Amino acid sequence: MEASVEQLVYVREDEYTVARMSAEGMADFVATGRALAGVQPGETLRLFGEWSRHPRHGRRFAATGCERVTPSSVRAIRIYLGSGLVRGIGPRLAYAIVDHFGEATLKVIDAEPQRLTEVVNIGPLRQAQIVQAWQEQKSIAALMVTLQGLGVSPLLAAKIYQVFGQDADEVLATDPYRLIGRVRGIAFRIADRIALQAGVPERSPERVKAALLDRLETAGSRDGHCFVPVSTLVREAAELIEQEQDLVRPMVDALVADRRVVLETAPSGHPAASGQAEQIVAYAKHVHSREVALTAELTRLARARSTLPLRVFRDDPTLHDDQRAAVNMALTSTVSILTGGPGVGKSHTVRAIATTVRAAGGTVTLAAPTGKAAKRLSELTGLPAMTVHRMLAQPPDPDPETLFDERPSQADLIVVDEASMLDLHLATRLAAAVPSGSHLLFIGDSDQLPSIGSGDVLADLLRVERIPRVQLTHVFRQSDGSGIVEAAHRIRAGRMPVTPGRGGFWFEELDDPEQVARRVAHLAMVAIPRKQQVDPDQVQVLCPMRKGDTGATALGRLIQDRLNPAADDKPEHWSGASVFRVGDRVMPIRNNYDKGVFNGETATVTAVDRTERTIEIRTDDGETVAYGFDELDDLTHAYAISVHRSQGSEYPFVVAPIVAESGGIMLRRKLLYTLVTRAKAWVVLVGQREALEVAVHRLGHRRNTGLARRLALSLDS
């Protein structure tokens, strides 16, 4: 039967979809099934399946097949155009267009679009916008059909079109491996399925090379490695394409000849050498280039003669001995590192360093990898701070009242907080922007999680003896009665945290993951807000993993449905398996300088405009920003987030599940330590004691990087 999609009710991560449908001559009904993946309100579908009765939800149509068809009746056309599928046409304009052209409406838009100006309120500019949006929608719909025929999720069609435009069909037909890394959500397996369907031979050199590059990129994105032993790379690529290693090994040399891969010898004693005297390792060319470039830039800075106006520190009686040592180090060393755990006075030390330099007439820039981290640095030091990205992009500031009285990256002293979050790419850009003679001070806690991107920059720098460093160890915040600092230091030392009588840290033991999820949600939504008399927005749920009953996705949706449920008068839009509603708490996960938003900020959805196909958010700083429906991969819900996403941020109250199910692979000391140190007032862990013990005692893997060895050799030469 044919029916129009009125509303998406629910979309699961595996693309199982529940939609409310309408059809001529019958009451509205509900259709379900994975066959509905990617459908949008307003579309007309030809459905295949059978009627069933759900014990709780009643009669519904279980769809086993679905075809998109062009709506033909006036009612269906009006629903289609008024749904917002075609940007620029809302319900009122849709009614006017259909009222004017009737059943011929879509033919007019497609074949005689100039006639749209016959309708009141449609001028040449609006007509051109409608035609462009119509052509895009047609192309995406055709791509969805193509992908379904290849056994690939139709949800990827819009993303492919966004990258390749009108060339998308040609890419799918001739070189689908180009999709890898350029289209979010497409890794090797999906591209390979398309390629094999298109006739690419299983043993083709292009397929083998794509598999090798995929394994290299996955090692970086998943595990943070900069290189992979060639023997491991060949074995994993052969397993991926189910071919023998003898076929794969020569293609490594072919990629070297193509200048896409670089081979080096791992030093004896490096974990990647696996006990051998030496082992050949492979870098993706762009990763190798960055590691070499970062080595050169840090060597340049470390060897440069200081241009700092003041290099002698006057004694400050408010500083501890190790803080004084840190100040002197920052003033006398052009590259240096300040480390320490929570409560040891890193922020006070930074303020002393910056104040000393400015008093001598020098300039200072304070920066951090994320917007939240920069804001927190500013709050703790009382001085302006910015993101590293903004520092690198910002022109000179003409305002003499600010710290940034010249180009920020050209300051006499540049302080980078939360340096454990610096990946290889950002660290290379940062070092390259600093002029010789300026001082670069990295501040971080090496016991926190490393960067999301490849590399382990702070840990590598700490392995180079020639780089000066001071570790602050005297705890100042222990006397404030908070158990958070004590718990963090116990975890750091590999000991189980204990629940102190004075509060701040609490562990609640539960075994069943589903019970853990419900308890975490209740604490975040009800118990803590009621007891502490705060808004639920003050409580942040942090999760070791994204998937599973206690993962960020499931917990976030559970909390969203309770705090901000669907309502007829509340606009919403489904993007994949995520629904964005007015009132939702969201978080940008990528810096966007055109919009002025930064990774880690929190915001609230204030409007969903189906006519213009945009979602409007207001950041906690009061800025209003619009995201197109095709940009929503850059937003995530903030009800529950991964521990990695929380780095650089601090929340009044933190609640987190600790279980050994899907999150077991992520349970390790650095993750637990990072989680606990995100809280200011209280952190509550809920879960299994054995899982907590695993997290405390498991150290995790060391990332494969060559920066420490490379930099040590460079500084010694």
Annotated binding site: 343-347
Binding residues for ATP: 343-347
Report the C-alpha gap between 540 and 537 in whole angstroms.
7
End-to-end CA distance of the chain: 77
C-alpha closest to that of 196 among 164, 170, 173: 173
Tokens of 201: 């031979």
User: DSSP readout, 655-692?
Assistant: EEEE-SSGGGGG--HHHHHHHHTTEEEEEEEEE-HHHH
Cβ atoms within 10 Å of 63's Cβ, excluding its own: 22
CA–CA gap between residue 144 and residue 15 (Å, rounded): 14
The CA radius of gyration of the chain, in Å to the nearest whole number, is 28
Q: In 333-466, which ranges are continuous DSSP H helix? A: 346-359, 371-381, 388-393, 424-433, 457-462
Question: What is the torsion angle, in degrees rounded to the nearest 10, for the CA atoms of residue 80, residue 83, residue 85 and residue 88?
Answer: 110
- CB distance 427 to 403 below 8 Å: no
Other beta carbons within 10 angstroms of residue 285's beta carbon come to: 15
Asked if 70 contacts 56 with a C-beta cutoff of 8 angstroms, the reply is: no
Quick one: three-class SS letters along 21-75? EEECCEEEEEEEEHHHCCCCCCCEEEEEEEEEEECCCEEEEEEEEEEEECCCCHH
Measured distance CA(115)–CA(138) in Å, rounded: 19
Query: How many whole angstroms separate alpha carbon 620 and alpha carbon 600?
Result: 11
Estimate the share of the chain in helix, then strand, then coil, as percent rounded to the nearest 5: 45, 20, 35
- The sign of the torsion formed by the CA atoms of 520, 523, 529, 532 equals negative
DSSP 524: I
Distances (CA, A) of 595 to 372, 623, 627, 628: 16, 10, 9, 12
Q: How large is the angle between the packed helices 513-522 and 552-563, nearest 10 degrees?
A: 40
Contacting residues for 578 by C-beta, under 8 A, at least 6 apart: 11, 632, 636, 637
Check: CB of residue 409 under 8 Å from CB of residue 434.
yes
